[in-house]
Structure 1
Amino acid sequence: MKIDIKAYLNSKELTIYQVSKYSGYGYTTLHKSFNKKQTSATSLNLRDLDALAQSQNKAMWQVLKELEEHYLSDDN
């Protein structure tokens, strides 16, 4: 399973720049993380989840729940 982070950003009308600005995490770091090919070894990390949560004034569990319910896809 993989998380379609780009679809999540689009649906929330967020850009990586906005997430970076509101969360305080570096743009380059988030850009690399959100655009890397996801494998079983490189899943969404806590920093990314925290950045998404902070940029929307949500708790990390709320973002994780949304991602699990609406943005998971098969690896195929």
Structure 2
Amino acid sequence: MSIGVEPAELSEADLLRELSSLYDTRMDTLRHGSDHALAEHTRRTAELEAEYVRRHPDREVSPERLREGARAR
């Protein structure tokens, strides 16, 4: 059962707003949410992140976020 609007149906602004909201509430959900709440938070975050990556397959990736960049630090 999916809760919330299907990610593919969200506008770009709505997708980013939803992701931002989930990131803002992650620590609180992790520390104080029920097991079910945490599982749903994780599921929805993964669902929205997958949609973002689907829409932006050529997104800019910082060289410092790659293994070689981390080793160089």
TM-score when scaled to structure 2?
0.31
Which has the larger Rg?
A: 2
More helix by share: 2
More strand by share: 1
